[in-house]
Chains A and B, each alone.
Chain A
Amino acid sequence: MSIRPDEERKALATMLADTLASGSAGKEQVLDLFTALGYELPANRGTVKLPETTDHAIGIYTPSLIDGEIYYRRNESFRARWDRFADIDSIPPKRTSKRIVLLGESVARGFLLDPEYTPAQLLSTLLNSNTAGEELEVIDLAETNLSLEGLEKRYRECLVLQPDMIILFAGNNWRTDIEVKLQRDPLVQEQLAREVLGKQHIAGMKGIIEEVFASMIDTFLAGLHTQAVRQQVKLLFVVPEYNLMDYRSTAGERALTRLKGNGSQQWIQAMSKAKDLISVGEMAEAAIYAARMTVLDPTHPLGYELLADCKLAQLDLPGARIDLETARDCGLYFRTNSKPRMYRVIRDTILAKAHQYQLQIVDLPLIFSHHLRNELPGRTLFFDYCHLTARGLQIAMEAVACQVLAVLYGKELSPGLPAAAIHPDNEVNARAHLLAAIHNAHWGQGYEILFYHCMRSLDYGQDMKENMMRYCDMVTRRTSNMLCASYRELLLDFRHSRHFHAFRSHVKMKGFELPLVTAMTDALKHAGIGDPSEQFDTLRLEEHGITDSPINLLSSHYHVRSYDYYQGTRPAYYQSREPVSSFQLPVAVSGPVMLTLTLRVPAQEIGNGSALVRVNGTMVQTIMVNASWSDHVIWIAADQLVQGINELTIEWPIPFSDKGPELPTSLLFISSNTMLDKLFWVAGEIIRFSAIATPSKKSYIA
């Protein structure tokens, strides 16, 4: 039953709302009014409470009694999550053999090879083929997408299975846990704001995040240890590695940082110099500029990556490793929804705490380094950023098997069946490499690695050519993938694949995927299967070509290059956080094209600047821009255009500010979005951008 509040309360509520709206309210005043209205302030901040297991489920498995024994069976009500788990119907009661439970995330599932070829299967075969008389049972409870919080829950759940050992092959997904904490905890947000904005020390953000992160991991490991001692179960942690050689930062991860003074100008100039010098092989000099980039902006991955390229060319592998790991760790600045990865702080914390919490360790960075004789890990071991190829899994699981035998039996792995002999079928590999090409393309990787995976796919199975043709057809069309006939054909061929959803595009993010289509058609040509590129070029023009009706160039097709997106405020219009925006104009007609655009440069705090519009590298117009929207019409002459795809770029004026990111007057409503928006520049914004073919400027005006 409701009780009608009194008028005095109405006056208080109105005063609080007005005070908040004024934007200059003191925190104490606001909180006094808040409590006067009867609301409670939060208790002292503690660690996030991890969920207890109350439903007796272990992931998708629930207990059922069969012949007087408890089996854990896949529960129908969790069907939507089945494909995130092993393709196993039930977990039997423990018998006489020793039992190992494998926990983890998509890496531990064997992403792209699963369910035909998984780490658990490989480990089980290795163990049982190489131990005389000992029988070991490996129960696969790894789950795709599992977070740290989920891992803790699964760990508690699985203890009921009476494992002798639990292997945790995880760590790649844990950024999501820290992200949730940052979003939900206003006090951490305030701490970050004071450090990063108040002291204008952007790089300081990472230190605070790492501190919180290390504390979370320590709490997690301590919890594991307590339970493990109580249940007398051994723990083995497999520390994942990252694809240092062949996975580079995406466009979203390269968002410009708001540097004080002319820092951004200097950074962009250094970047241009470094790239130019690398392109002509002047690596030593390029390294100077790349290093300059890292000094100017230690939060940006590109400087480290370019520096690593220089060091790789100079065969300085240890130096390149450090730079590439630092580039990887720039994901902790949360520019974008960076792909899963093992951050240095995670590895360091686990290794540092291993002894204290009696964790056995398989440190894959070390294992792979030995295997590769100090070369950096790349495409032979990884499909993408963190998921392992069959070869990568073989090496990893061989190391795990050695540890398991040492811990459980004090034995060494006998050389009966080598891991390399346990491999997936060619068909499984062919599909996995095709999916790897698609997945890498969706996350902004370049043509060369896409072509590699397409070629590997065709090496394993020539019948993948039809699927490449279908994929190219589907992605070239305007229609949503799911309504395309080519999608249906792919589905029929991949209907048993749990990774089929990789063929879907993200909502409103379907792009031409030109590097991938080119990689596929080149691979088909290279494999002697023919050259279908003209077919798709024609289809693209039919579907997207500029005609006498206006085309909205802000539609995803014309500019999306990657599925990652900025983590701060995302507006309704196009926003560039890179110094140059790039659009693809499919042109079928032979006349001029008229562009209409409305744009602004919100970072241009000192007045007007110039945005340079180029088509296929040739300057077509300079536009005066400032912090307010302005409308422009640009004519592109017929002789500046080619039949097919034309690259239109807008080079934004280099941002300049006397000040770095500032601390807001009130921290009451500081949020992770506000923080990010203050840390990273918007290079330019476009709210209207249309193209129309017209016989001539004169005739259009007439």
Chain B
Amino acid sequence: MSLNIIGISAHYHDAACCILQDGVLTAAVQEERFTRKKNDSRLPESAFLYCLEEASLSITDIHCIAYYEEPVKKLARQLWSGNKNIDFATFLNRDPNFVEKQLRNRLGYEGPIHYYSHHLSHAASSYYYSGFTNAATLTVDGVGEWATTTYGIANGKDLSLFEEVVFPDSIGLLYSAITSYLGFSVNSGEYKVMGLAPYGEARFADKIREMIISGPDGQYQLDLRYFEFLEGNKMYSSLLEELLGVAARKKDTKILQVHTDIAKSLQVVLEEILLEKAIYLHEKTGMENLCMAGGVALNCVANSRILKDGPFKKLFVQPAAGDAGCCLGAAALAHVSLSGEWMERRLEHVYLGPAYGENSIRPLLDAAGLKHQDFTGREDELLRQTAEKIAEGKVIGWFHGRLEFGPRSLGARSILADPRNPEMRDRINAMVKLREAFRPFAPAILVTEAGKFFDIDHASPFMLETCQVIADIALPAITHVDGSARVQTVTRETNAWFAGLLQAFYEITGCPVLLNTSFNVRDMPIVCSPEDALACFITTNIDCLVLENFFLEKEDLDAGITDLISSIILEKTLPELSPNVYTFI
């Protein structure tokens, strides 16, 4: 009999659901992709139903739901914190059995529910998908129940955590506090700080070091004088402004050199402490392999430093290393527990979300009345034409196959462009993605060509490592200010169309690299459905849209019509999301 396990992360940020069938991950998706609410934390209802449908299973076929944290322990920590936002009314809404009630009453699940601690779920989300037979695990994030950092060891199917740093001492919260101080949103703006760092000098590093004091073994402490997150009002205290001698940046104001210097200093200190703790972990476990997870593990610059300068020979970071990915870990833990077997299979790709075929796209294009080309049965021609458009300097919205799981677009829902064009980065940031000018873009390259263009000797399918650009040709649109790039290597086995497109572009230009960024605009989730993609295409300055076999080009469309659609879509938010507007209460 097959063993089917649902994994769920929810109720903090980035809710997600996955399904493991006999230890094989067959579907995983974040709820935000369906609800179109960035970082949606609500119970992943749509994602759950999608996982069942994708697996062709009934809810009666599910043996267990694995939940990514322990709600009672989490509540204890929240009550302990003295958070000022807890009053009598909110307290009465903090039912510790709320999670089970939701799983029963909202998802309709009748079977057993297994709860796993947040950081154990993180560790499992990396180790059980790494393909390693043994490893040390390091998890670092803001906070789970009590733990903020854990150290673990895994051998075969056995995984255990042997040490933890507990709240309020947290590298993740340090990073989030500085993120907030620099005027970005906590839980979503951290990667902007990472992108800002290479522009700065680490002249505030000593000040940052005053905020975090390393302790024995895996321990460290925050100097709480500089923080206020315990009270729940804001992340940092006014003493931080005194320490750094700079007023906190207000959101959407100009980014100054001093801000980039603070970002750089934070990055340097983060790398120092992670490296120090990685060395400790290696000494303690003697392992050659390291598995990392937690939001901090999405810091690909630090990951590369740990691999390059640390004692571990191999590093695996699960691509959805943040809380969304915890559902994978919880499911894996349940699988091991119920089957007594472990999952040796390495996660080869993250194309685990919904796909949409011709019977979804053709009616959409007909209904919308938009001119398009149909390449059904002529896919090679489609790839060739798309590559030519990119070579001409066009920006492409690329929609093909199953949606990616995790924060990165990896050639299923991507915006693609020519990396050789020196103006392309600014153009896409300003006119397509509608976001900050400093934000870097990443390259995708055929795996067979990667070593010739980047200083990398292994596959990097998930865009989670940085390396130096060593190409003979200039690639200004994807090369960061420090000469690095966050590279994605592409194979035909995992994404034949994307590899085919890279090949076609290579044949036309001699460059097997494409700029690859997520198919979304600022503060919106990555597109999921053809409707999402069409809406994003029309409301931005994307030149062409590939919707599976269909090709649309903006200049072929009536500008009056696209302007009208654009105004309809951009005005939609209130009426569509709040029925009260139309219904007059």
Contacts and interface: CB of A to CB of B under 8 A. Distances in A.
A322 interface: no
Given A17-B76, A17-B79, A37-B79, A145 B581 contact: yes
Max chain B Cβ within 10 angstroms of own Cβ: one of A12, A18, A687: A687
A3 B108 CA distance: 43
Contacts of A631: 58, 60
A397 to B, nearest CB: 20
B364 interface: yes
Interface in A557-607: 563, 569-573, 598, 600
A333 interface: no
Contacts of B3: none
Max chain A Cβ within 10 angstroms of own Cβ: one of B46, B73, B231, B579: B579
A10 B96 CA distance: 17
B108 A629 contact: yes
A478 B367 CA distance: 8
Given A3-B224, A572-B108, A147 B60 contact: no
Given A571-B108, A669-B95, A147 B585 contact: yes
Interface residues of A, number: 80
Contacts of B91: 34, 39
A42 B89 contact: yes
Contacts of A573: 49, 107-108
A569 B43 CA distance: 13
Contact of A40 (B58, B88, B93): B88
A356 interface: no
A1 B227 CA distance: 5
B365 to A, nearest CB: 9
A507 interface: yes
Interface stretch (B124-132, B191-199, B563-571): B563-571
A16 B76 contact: yes
Interface stretch (A116-124, A256-264, A484-492): A484-492
B569 A482 contact: yes
A701 interface: no
A17 B237 contact: no
Contact of B565 (A42, A488, A506, A600): A488
Nearest to A690: B53
Max chain A Cβ within 10 angstroms of own Cβ: one of B106, B108, B110: B108
Contacts, number: 208
Given A1-B225, A20-B75, A483-B367, A669 B583 contact: no
Given A482-B569, A491-B564, A563 B577 contact: no
A162 interface: no
Interface string A481-513: 011111110011000000001101011000000
A483 B224 CA distance: 52
B363 A478 contact: yes
A688 B58 contact: yes
Max chain A Cβ within 10 angstroms of own Cβ: one of B105, B534, B574, B583: B583
Contact of B229 (A2, A173, A598): A2
Given A9-B80, A337-B583, A483-B565, A688 B59 contact: yes
B364 to A, nearest CB: 5
Contacts of A491: 564, 568
B368 A485 contact: yes
A4 interface: yes
A599 to B, nearest CB: 10
A492 B564 CA distance: 9
B580 interface: yes
A702 interface: no
Contact of B45 (A482, A547, A572): A572
A132 interface: no
A571 B72 contact: no
Contact of B568 (A176, A482, A630): A482
Interface string B31-56: 00000000000010110110011000
Contacts of A14: 73, 76, 80
Contacts of A571: 45, 105-108
A563 B583 contact: yes
Max chain A Cβ within 10 angstroms of own Cβ: one of B82, B367, B582: B367
Contacts of A34: 88, 91
Interface residues of B, number: 74
Given A2-B228, A483-B565, A543-B363, A629 B58 contact: yes
Nearest to A507: B576
Max chain A Cβ within 10 angstroms of own Cβ: one of B227, B584, B585: B584
A487 B43 CA distance: 33
Interface in B205-241: 224-231, 237, 239
B59 A340 contact: no
Given A186-B89, A504-B575, A669-B95, A5 B82 contact: yes
A483 to B, nearest CB: 5
B269 to A, nearest CB: 20
Contacts of A2: 168, 224-225, 227-231, 237
Contact of A1 (B45, B237, B575, B581): B237
B52 A688 contact: yes
A339 B585 CA distance: 7
A553 B408 CA distance: 33
Contacts of B237: 1-2
A670 to B, nearest CB: 9
A253 to B, nearest CB: 14
B413 to A, nearest CB: 18
Max chain B Cβ within 10 angstroms of own Cβ: one of A1, A563, A600: A1
Interface string A625-667: 0001111000000000000000000000000000000000000
B584 A145 contact: yes
B576 A504 contact: yes
Contact of B579 (A147, A506, A547, A629): A506
A337 B43 CA distance: 22
Nearest to B73: A17
A629 to B, nearest CB: 5
Contacts of A16: 76, 79
Contact of B224 (A4, A40, A628, A630): A4
Contact of A488 (B58, B227, B561, B584): B561
B168 A4 contact: yes
Interface string A10-34: 1011101110110100000000001
Interface in B51-78: 52-53, 58-60, 71-73, 75-78
A633 B228 CA distance: 58
Nearest to B34: A508
B45 A20 contact: no
Interface in B352-410: 359, 363-364, 367-369
A630 B564 CA distance: 48
Given A23-B97, A34-B91, A569-B105, A480 B579 contact: no
Contacts of A688: 52-53, 58-59
Interface string B83-104: 0001111011111110000000
B244 interface: no
A371 interface: no
Contacts of B577: 507
A235 to B, nearest CB: 23
A11 to B, nearest CB: 9
A538 interface: no
Interface in A456-496: 477-480, 482-488, 491-492
Contact of B228 (A1, A80, A504): A1
Interface in A531-559: 542-543, 547, 549, 552
A536 to B, nearest CB: 13
B81 interface: yes
12 contacts: A2-B230, A18-B72, A21-B72, A21-B75, A39-B91, A443-B583, A502-B582, A547-B359, A569-B105, A572-B48, A631-B58, A668-B95
Q: List the 3 closest pairs (A to B, CB-CB), nearest first.
A: A485-B369, A572-B45, A13-B80
Given A20-B97, A337-B579, 11 more contacts: A1-B225, A3-B224, A17-B73, A17-B76, A42-B87, A479-B364, A480-B531, A486-B367, A563-B579, A573-B108, A598-B58
